[in-house]
C-alpha cells in the first residue's frame, strides 16, 4: 500500500483560508472578456468571502455530502461556486453548461450525469437560468431538487458559514469524462488527491512566486480545472482566465494575453497550437513577445510532432523558445498529469521502425527509411509517481524494449468511479500477476519508457479523441444504425486512424444481406455522413460498407474494433462500397456538386460573401448553397471561426451555435439577412427617438447632478464621521452619534492628522478602558486605536498605518484578547485595508462619505441629535477612547449583567486558535524590537462570569494553549485571572465593570499604573502578574485552583452559564 503523504495543506479549504490571510488583497484571478479586456477580478480575500457566502447558503439547505452540478460560463463565478461547494462539504460536479437554444442536444448528457451522481443541486448564474427557462420547459424535468443562482447570494451570509468536518480523505469533486451519454463515469477526486497532485505539479512544472498563468481551457476539463485554475491558487500566483470560445474565435488573443501579462505558464491541447500556426497572421505576430513563456503545456490529446516543430519555428521570432514546449501525459483518473517535460529541456522524440512497433517492439530506426514513426516524448514522471509498462493480456511487466499498457501508482490517483464498483475494481485496483505489486491504475493507453522519458504510442481502449473532445464509439455506431434502413443492427464499428498527425473518424458498417441487390450505396453513405454530422457535429473521414456477417466479432458477439481497424488499414475488409474524403473533408472525386456550380451565380451578395468565408475556412475551391457544413469537413472549431468572421463582415452578433442550427450557406444567409434587417430597423428607430432622448437625458442629468451635489455639500457640512475636517458648530454638528459605527474609518483618518507617538491597540475592552489622558502620558501625544472585534491581522495592519504616518513612534500598549486570535473570527464590515498606510483619505472613502445615501442618512441623524433637547449621547470619543454615558447603573440583577454571555454561548463555531494570527503578533513584536519602540503587552481583565462561560463552552483548554503560545513570543502582564477586580460581586452599581466583558476606565488606570510602575500603592496586590515561559504552568495551575474556589462560592452563576448552554 502507498504511504499516506505529508501534505502542506490537507484540503483546498485550508489552502484558501491561508491565502485569504497571507495575501488578502492580492489579485488571484482576472477574467478577460473576449480574451482581451479585463472584465473582473477576484482577490484571495474576496474569493474566500464569496466561497463562505455560497457555502452558508448550501449549509442552510443541509446539503453537506450532497452532489451539486456546476453549470457556468467560463469566469470568476464558477471559481467562487466551486470553492463554495468545498467550503460546505458539498461534492462539486463541474459540467459544461447546456446551450439554451439547443437543449435537445446538450441536455441529455447532463441529465445522465445528474442521475448517475444523484445530484440534488444545480448551481448556476441568474442569466443562464433565465435563458434556460425561456427556451424550454424541459429544464423543469431536470432531476435536481434545488437550482441556486450563486450570483444572487449576498456576502453577508459569510457570517453564518460553519467549518465543515472535512479532511484529506473527503471527496472534493467528481470529474465526469466526456463521452457516452449512456454510461457517464464520474472520477472521484479527494482533497488529498488534489493537494498531493498540486504539490507534485508545483515542483515538476517549476512554479515560483513570480509565475503567472493564462488559461482558456474549460473548467469542466481536468486540464483547465486543475492546472489552469487550482494550481495558481495553490502556488499563490495570479491567473488570467479566458473563455474557450474567445480562443477559438481569435487564437491571437491567447498569445497576446501571454505576451501582455508576461505569463510563464499556459497549457492547451495539440490542436490549439495548430490553430495558432494557421490563423495568426504575420502582422499579428509582430505584436507578440513570448519570451516570458517558460512552460507551454501540451496534453489532453495525441501530440503531433510536426505541429510542435512548426509552432517553434513560426513563433521563434516572437521570443518563443523550443525549451518552453512541455509535452505531457495525463488523465482525470490520475487527477491530471502523470508526466510532464521539465523547463529548459527541448521536446524529445524517438524514431522507431513502424513494423516493429506494430508488434509492440521498441526498435529505433538506425538509418533513414520510409517505414518509420516518430513518437514525441511526454516528459518525465511527476513527483513520486510510479509507472510500470504492463502486458494488458497476461498482466505481467513488459521488457524495456516492449510496448505495453501504462499503469500508474501515486497518491494523486483518484478514489475510483462514482457508483461503479466493478469498473473501479478493474481500473483502479490492478496488480501485476508476476510480482503482486501495489494496486495500479490501468490507463488504457499504450507506451514505453526510455531514458526516463514516457512515450505514448496509442490506446487499448476504444475512446476516440478528436480536437480535444472525447467520443465514445458506441454512441456514433448507434447513430449510424438509425441512419438508413439497409444498415444491419450491431454490425458496425467506429474508430479513428491517424492521418498526417491528426485523428480521423472511420466508420465500417455491415449491410443487410437482403438489401444488397437494390442498394443505392451513394444514398446510404450520404445518410451516414448526414446523421453523424447532425448528431455529433463531427466530419467522417471514411465510410466502408461491408457484407453482412463479415465484421470481426468475439465469440460472444461483441464488435472487435481494433481488429476492424487493422483490417481497414490492411485493406482486407469484405467491401461492398466505400467513400473517403481528402484532407479537407470533401469528396476526393469533386470539391463541389453540379448543383453547387449552377446555383452560385444566382446567389445574393450575402450568400456569396458567406460562401467565400466558408471556402476560405474549409480550404475549398467553391461551396454550394445547400452543401452541409459538416459533410464538407467542418467541425466545431471551424464553426466558431466562421460565425466570428460572418459577424465581423456584417457587423452583427451571432451565437456560436448558429451554424449548427443553420448548416448550409442558404440557411445561414437567411439568418444573417434577418439579423441585418433587424439591426437596420433598430438603428432607424434610435435615430428618430435620439433628439427626444437627448433632451430628456440632459434634464435628468441636471436634476441628478444637482441632487448629488446637494447631498455632497450637506454631508461635508455635517461631517457625520468626523473625517472631512469640516468646521465644528455647536448645536449643529458637534455631536457625532454615528461615529461609533465607522470607527475603523475615522480612527485611520485621525492617525493621519494627529500623528501620535504613543498608541493603544486592542479590542473594545481596551477601547473603553485605557485613557490616553492618564497622568503617565502628560504632555505626550497618546491615542487609543483599539477597535471592537479587532483581530491581530487588523491590529498589525493599523500598526503599519501608524508607522507610515508617524515614523518616530515611541511606545505601543497592546491589550490582548483571546478572541482576536480565533481562526474563525471575521473581519468587521467597516474594515478596508485599502485605506491604510495612506497620507490622506482615500478617494473611495471620500466618495462614500460625500455621496452615499448611507452617509446622507447618518448626516440627518447627526443633525437631529444636535438639534434635539438632549445634548448628550451614549457613545462619544476622545483621542480614540470610547466614552460611555451610563452613570454606572446596571439594569437589574446579575442575569442582566451576564445576558451578553448568551452570544458567545450561541455561536456555533468551535474556537480554534489561529497560527496566522499568532504570526501577526510575532511580526509586530519583532518590528518594535528592531526600531526600538517600547512595547507593553497585557491580557485584558474580564469578569469571572465570562471565564465561566468559556469553560462551559469547553474552550478553557484553547485559552491555556493561547497563553502558552503568547509567552513563547514574549513576557506579558496577565490581568485576566481570578483576583479582586475580576471577581467583583455583581450588583446594580458596579465599580469596575460596564458589563460581563468590558472594564471601566478606573480599571484601565490600574492596569497602566501596574505596567508603567506608577503609583503602585493604588493597585490591588493580586491584580496583575507577569507570566513567562518559566512560570506559565504554575500560573495556569493557580488559575484552576482559584476557579474551583470561586465556583464553589458562586453556584448560581455557574448554573446560569450551564443553563444558557443548554
Q: How is 189-249 classified by DSSP, letter by letter?
A: EEHHHHHHHHHHHHHHTT--TT--EEE-S-TTSHIIIIIIIIHHHHHT--EEE--HHHHHH
Q: State residue 620's pLDDT score.
A: 83
Range(s) of the chain covered by CATH 1.10.1200.10:
586-718
984 in Cβ contact with 991 (< 8 Å): yes
Measured between alpha carbons, how far is 723 from 747 in angstroms, rounded to an integer? Answer: 9
Q: How confident is the model at residue 681 (pLDDT cuts 50, 70, 90)?
A: confident
Kindly report, residue by residue over 118-147, the tens digit of the pLDDT. 999 999 999 998 888 776 566 666 777 889
Q: What percent of the chain has pLDDT over 70?
A: 91
Q: How confident is the model at residue 637 (pLDDT cuts 50, 70, 90)?
A: confident
Give me the mean pLDDT over the 997-1025 stretch: 93
- Cα separations in angstroms, 954 against 149, 911, 977: 38, 9, 17
Give me the mean pLDDT over the 809-829 stretch: 86
306 in Cβ contact with 336 (< 8 Å): no
In this structure, of 306-315, 407-416, 676-685, 738-747, the range with the lowest mean pLDDT score is 676-685
**Would you state the cell numbers that stand for residue 238, as one nine-digit string?**
495570479
Q: State residue 890's pLDDT score.
A: 44
User: Is 297 buried (19+), middle (13-18) or exposed (0-12) by CB count in 10 A?
Assistant: buried
Q: State residue 881's pLDDT score.
A: 79
- Collapsing DSSP states into helix, strand and coil, what is residue 14? helix
Cα–Cα nearest to 822, from 166, 155, 21: 21
Residue 407 pairs in a beta bridge with 388, 442
Kindly report, residue by residue over 372-387, the tens digit of the pLDDT. 888 999 999 999 999 9
Kindly report, residue by residue over 910-936, the tens digit of the pLDDT. 678 889 999 999 999 999 999 999 999
434587417: which residue's cell?
677
Measured between alpha carbons, how far is 192 from 871 in angstroms, rounded to an integer? Answer: 62
Q: How confident is the model at residue 594 (pLDDT cuts 50, 70, 90)?
A: very low
Q: State residue 1053's pLDDT score.
A: 83
Measured between alpha carbons, how far is 575 from 598 in angstroms, rounded to an integer? Answer: 34
Q: How confident is the model at residue 909 (pLDDT cuts 50, 70, 90)?
A: low
Q: How confident is the model at residue 900 (pLDDT cuts 50, 70, 90)?
A: very low
Strand 239-241 to strand 27-33: parallel, antiparallel, or no bridges (unpaired)?
parallel
Cα-Cα-Cα-Cα torsion 601, 604, 605, 609, nearest 10 degrees, comes to -70
Q: State residue 134's pLDDT score.
A: 74
In this structure, of 177-181, 468-472, 784-788, 798-802, the range with the lowest mean pLDDT score is 177-181
CATH class of 586-718: mainly alpha
924 in Cβ contact with 965 (< 8 Å): no
Q: DSSP letter string over 848-874?
A: HHHH-HHHHHHHHHHHHHHHSS----S
Kindly report, residue by residue over 154-185, the tens digit of the pLDDT. 999 999 999 999 999 999 999 997 545 457 89
Q: Is the pLDDT of residue 411 over 90?
A: yes
Q: DSSP letter string over 888-932?
A: T---SSHHHHHGGGHHHHH--SPP-B-HHHHHHHHHHHHHHHHTT
Cα–Cα nearest to 999, from 786, 755, 745, 744: 786
Give me the mean pLDDT over the 934-941 stretch: 95
Range(s) of the chain covered by CATH 3.30.300.30:
464-580
Residue 804 pairs in a beta bridge with none
| 843 or 885: which leads in pLDDT | 843
Q: Is the pLDDT of residue 904 over 50?
A: no
Q: State residue 781's pLDDT score.
A: 92
Q: Is the pLDDT of residue 388 over 60?
A: yes
Q: State residue 643's pLDDT score.
A: 85
Give me the mean pLDDT over the 941-953 stretch: 87
Q: Is the pLDDT of residue 151 over 60?
A: yes
489561529: which residue's cell?
914
In this structure, of 208-212, 300-304, 426-430, 965-969, the range with the lowest mean pLDDT score is 300-304
Give me the mean pLDDT over the 289-309 stretch: 93
Q: Is the pLDDT of residue 812 over 60?
A: yes
User: Is 392 buried (19+), middle (13-18) or exposed (0-12) by CB count in 10 A?
Assistant: middle
Helix axes 605-618, 636-650, angle to 10 degrees: 140
Under CATH, which number does the domain 464-580 receive? 3.30.300.30
Cα–Cα nearest to 40, from 329, 274, 240: 240
Kindly state the DSSP code that residue 176 receives in the 8-state scheme: E
Q: What is the mean pLDDT of the chain?
A: 87
546 in Cβ contact with 488 (< 8 Å): no
In sequence order, what are the residues at sequence separation of 6 or more whose Cβ sits closer than 8 angstroms to the Cβ of residue 444?
405, 459, 460, 461, 463
339 in Cβ contact with 377 (< 8 Å): no
User: Is 244 buried (19+), middle (13-18) or exposed (0-12) by CB count in 10 A?
Assistant: buried
Give me the mean pLDDT over the 189-210 stretch: 95
Q: State residue 387's pLDDT score.
A: 97
**Would you state the cell numbers that stand for residue 771, as one nine-digit string?**
485613557
Q: How confident is the model at residue 349 (pLDDT cuts 50, 70, 90)?
A: very high
Q: How confident is the model at residue 892 (pLDDT cuts 50, 70, 90)?
A: very low
5 in Cβ contact with 411 (< 8 Å): yes
Q: State residue 585's pLDDT score.
A: 39
- Backbone torsion region of residue 731, taken as left when φ is above 0, otherwise alpha when ψ lies between -120 and 50, otherwise beta: left
Q: Is the pLDDT of residue 342 over 80?
A: yes
Q: DSSP letter string over 968-1036?
A: HH--EEE--SSSTTTTPPP-SS-SSBSSSS-B-HHHHHHHHHHHTT-SGGGS-TTS-EEE-TTTHHHHH
Kindly report, residue by residue over 40-98, the tens digit of the pLDDT. 999 999 999 999 999 999 999 998 999 999 999 999 999 999 999 999 999 999 999 98
In sequence order, what are the residues at sequence separation of 6 or more whose Cβ sits closer than 8 angstroms to the Cβ of residue 732?
718, 863, 866, 867
Q: State residue 520's pLDDT score.
A: 92
**Would you say the pTM of this structure is higher than 0.85?**
no
Amino acid at each position: 500500500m502507498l504511504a499516506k503523504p505529508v501534505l502542506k495543506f490537507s484540503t483546498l479549504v485550508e489552502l484558501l483560508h491561508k491565502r485569504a490571510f497571507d495575501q488578502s488583497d492580492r489579485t488571484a484571478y482576472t477574467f478577460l472578456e473576449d480574451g482581451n479586456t479585463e472584465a473582473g477580478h477576484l482577490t484571495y480575500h474576496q474569493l474566500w468571502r464569496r466561497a463562505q457566502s455560497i457555502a452558508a447558503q448550501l449549509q442552510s439547505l443541509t446539503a453537506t455530502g450532497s452532489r451539486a452540478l456546476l453549470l457556468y460560463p467560463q469566469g470568476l463565478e464558477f471559481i467562487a461556486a466551486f470553492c463554495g461547494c468545498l467550503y460546505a462539504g458539498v461534492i462539486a460536479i463541474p459540467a459544461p453548461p447546456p446551450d439554451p437554444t439547443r437543449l435537445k442536444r446538450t441536455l441529455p448528457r447532463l441529465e445522465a450525469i445528474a442521475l448517475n451522481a444523484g445530484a440534488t443541486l444545480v448551481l448556476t448564474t441568474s442569466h443562464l437560468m433565465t435563458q434556460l427557462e425561456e427556451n424550454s420547459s424541459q429544464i423543469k424535468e431536470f432531476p435536481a431538487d434545488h437550482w441556486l443562482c450563486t450570483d444572487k447570494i449576498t456576502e453577508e451570509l459569510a457570517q453564518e458559514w460553519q467549518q465543515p468536518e472535512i479532511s484529506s480523505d473527503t471527496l472534493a469533486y467528481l470529474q465526469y469524462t466526456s463521452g457516452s451519454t449512456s454510461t457517464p463515469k464520474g472520477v472521484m477526486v479527494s482533497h488529498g488527491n488534489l493537494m498531493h497532485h498540486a504539490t507534485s505539479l508545483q515542483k515538476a512544472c517549476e512554479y515560483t512566486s513570480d509565475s503567472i498563468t493564462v488559461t482558456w481551457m474549460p473548467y469542466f476539463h481536468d486540464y483547465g480545472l486543475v492546472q489552469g485554475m487550482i494550481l495558481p491558487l495553490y502556488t499563490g500566483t495570479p491567473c488570467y482566465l479566458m473563455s474557450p470560445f474567445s480562443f477559438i474565435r481569435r487564437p491571437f488573443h491567447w498569445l497576446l494575453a501571454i505576451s501582455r501579462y508576461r505569463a510563464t505558464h499556459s497549457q492547451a491541447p495539440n490542436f490549439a497550437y495548430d490553430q495558432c500556426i494557421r490563423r495568426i497572421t504575420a502582422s499579428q505576430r509582430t505584436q507578440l513577445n513570448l519570451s516570458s513563456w517558460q512552460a507551454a503545456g501540451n496534453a489532453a490529446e495525441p501530440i503531433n510532432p510536426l505541429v510542435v516543430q512548426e509552432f517553434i519555428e513560426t513563433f521563434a521570432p516572437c521570443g518563443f523558445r523550443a525549451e518552453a514546449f512541455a509535452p505531457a501525459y495525463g488523465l482525470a483518473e490520475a487527477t491530471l498529469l502523470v508526466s510532464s517535460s521539465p523547463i529548459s529541456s527541448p521536446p524529445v522524440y524517438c524514431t522507431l521502425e513502424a513494423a516493429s512497433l506494430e508488434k509492440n517492439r521498441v526498435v529505433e530506426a538506425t538509418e533513414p527509411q520510409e517505414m518509420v514513426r516518430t513518437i514525441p516524448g511526454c516528459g518525465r514522471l511527476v513527483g513520486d509517481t510510479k509507472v510500470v509498462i504492463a502486458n494488458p493480456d497476461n498482466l505481467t511487466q513488459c521488457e524495456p524494449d516492449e510496448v505495453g499498457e501504462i499503469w500508474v501508482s501515486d497518491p494523486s490517483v483518484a478514489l475510483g468511479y462514482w457508483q461503479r464498483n466493478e469498473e473501479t475494481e478493474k481500473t483502479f485496483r490492478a496488480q501485476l500477476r508476476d510480482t503482486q505489486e501495489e494496486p495500479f491504475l490501468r490507463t488504457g493507453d499504450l507506451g514505453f519508457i526510455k531514458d526516463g522519458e514516457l512515450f505514448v504510442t496509442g490506446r487499448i481502449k476504444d475512446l476516440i479523441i478528436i480536437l480535444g473532445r472525447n467520443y465514445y464509439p458506441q454512441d456514433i455506431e448507434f447513430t449510424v444504425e438509425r441512419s438508413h434502413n439497409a444498415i444491419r443492427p450491431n454490425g458496425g464499428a467506429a474508430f479513428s486512424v491517424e492521418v498526417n498527425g491528426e485523428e480521423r473518424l472511420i466508420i465500417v458498417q455491415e449491410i443487410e444481406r437482403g438489401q444488397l441487390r437494390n442498394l443505392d450505396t451513394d444514398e446510404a453513405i450520404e445518410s451516414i455522413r448526414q446523421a453523424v454530422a447532425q448528431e455529433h457535429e463531427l466530419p467522417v473521414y471514411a465510410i466502408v460498407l461491408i457484407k453482412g456477417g463479415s465484421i470481426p466479432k468475439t465469440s460472444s458477439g461483441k464488435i472487435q474494433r481494433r481488429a476492424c481497424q487493422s483490417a481497414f488499414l490492411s485493406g482486407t475488409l469484405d467491401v461492398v462500397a466505400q467513400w473517403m474524403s481528402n484532407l479537407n473533408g470533401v469528396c476526393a472525386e469533386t470539391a463541389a456538386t453540379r448543383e453547387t456550380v449552377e446555383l452560385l451565380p444566382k446567389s445574393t451578395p450575402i450568400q456569396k460573401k458567406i460562401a467565400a468565408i466558408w471556402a476560405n475556412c474549409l480550404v475549398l475551391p467553391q461551396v454550394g448553397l445547400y452543401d452541409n457544413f459538416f459533410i464538407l469537413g467542418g467541425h466545431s472549431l471551424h464553426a466558431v471561426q466562421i460565425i466570428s468572421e460572418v459577424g465581423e463582415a456584417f457587423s452583427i452578433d451571432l451565437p456560436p451555435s448558429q451554424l449548427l442550427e443553420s448548416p448550409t450557406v442558404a440557411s445561414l444567409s437567411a439568418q444573417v439577412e434577418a439579423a441585418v434587417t433587424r439591426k437596420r430597423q433598430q438603428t432607424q428607430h434610435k435615430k428618430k427617438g435620439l433628439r427626444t432622448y437627448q433632451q430628456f437625458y440632459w434634464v435628468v442629468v441636471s436634476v441628478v447632478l444637482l441632487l448629488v451635489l446637494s447631498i455632497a455639500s450637506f454631508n461635508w457640512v455635517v461631517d457625520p464621521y468626523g473625517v472631512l475636517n469640516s468646521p465644528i458648530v455647536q448645536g449643529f454638528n458637534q455631536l457625532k452619534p454615528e461615529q461609533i459605527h465607522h470607527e475603523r474609518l475615522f480612527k485611520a483618518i485621525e492617525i493621519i492628522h494627529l500623528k501620535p507617538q504613543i498608541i493603544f491597540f486592542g479590542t473594545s475592552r481596551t477601547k473603553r478602558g485605557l485613557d490616553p489622558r492618564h497622568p503617565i502620558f502628560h504632555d505626550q501625544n497618546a491615542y487609543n486605536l483599539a477597535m471592537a472585534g479587532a483581530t491581530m491581522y487588523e491590529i498589525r495592519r493599523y500598526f503599519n498605518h501608524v508607522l507610515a504616518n508617524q515614523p518616530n513612534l515611541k511606545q505601543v500598549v497592546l491589550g490582548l484578547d483571546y478572541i482576536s486570535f480565533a481562526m474563525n473570527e471575521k473581519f468587521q464590515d467597516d474594515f478596508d485595508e485599502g485605506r491604510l498606510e495612506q497620507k490622506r483619505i482615500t478617494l473611495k472613502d471620500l466618495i462614500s462619505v460625500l455621496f452615499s445615501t448611507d452617509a446622507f442618512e447618518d448626516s440627518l441623524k447627526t443633525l437631529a441629535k444636535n438639534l434635539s433637547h438632549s445634548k448628550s449621547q451614549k457613545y462619544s470619543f476622545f483621542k480614540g477612547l470610547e466614552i460611555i454615558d451610563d452613570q454606572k447603573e446596571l439594569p437589574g440583577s446579575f442575569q442582566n449583567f451576564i445576558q451578553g454571555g448568551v452570544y458567545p454561548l450561541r455561536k456555533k463555531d468551535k474556537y480554534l486558535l489561529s497560527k496566522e494570527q499568532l504570526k501577526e503578533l510575532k511580526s509586530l513584536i519583532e518590528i518594535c524590537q528592531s526600531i526600538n519602540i517600547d512595547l507593553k503587552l497585557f491580557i485584558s481583565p474580564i469578569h469571572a462570569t465570562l471565564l465561566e462561560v468559556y469553560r462551559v463552552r469547553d474552550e478553557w483548554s484553547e485559552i491555556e494553549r493561547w497563553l502558552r503560545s503568547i509567552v513563547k513570543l514574549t513576557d506579558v502582564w496577565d490581568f485576566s485571572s481570578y483576583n479582586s477586580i475580576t471577581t467583583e460581586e455583581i450588583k446594580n452599581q458596579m465599580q469596575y465593570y460596564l458589563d460581563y466583558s468590558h472594564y471601566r476606565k478606573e480599571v484601565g488606570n490600574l492596569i497602566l499604573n501596574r505596567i508603567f510602575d506608577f503609583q503602585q500603592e493604588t493597585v490591588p496586590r493580586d491584580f496583575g502578574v507577569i507570566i513567562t515561559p518559566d512560570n506559565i504552568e504554575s500560573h495556569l495551575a493557580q488559575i484552576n485552583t482559584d476557579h474551583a474556589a470561586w465556583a464553589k462560592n458562586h453556584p448560581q452563576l455557574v448554573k446560569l452559564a450551564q443553563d444558557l448552554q443548554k
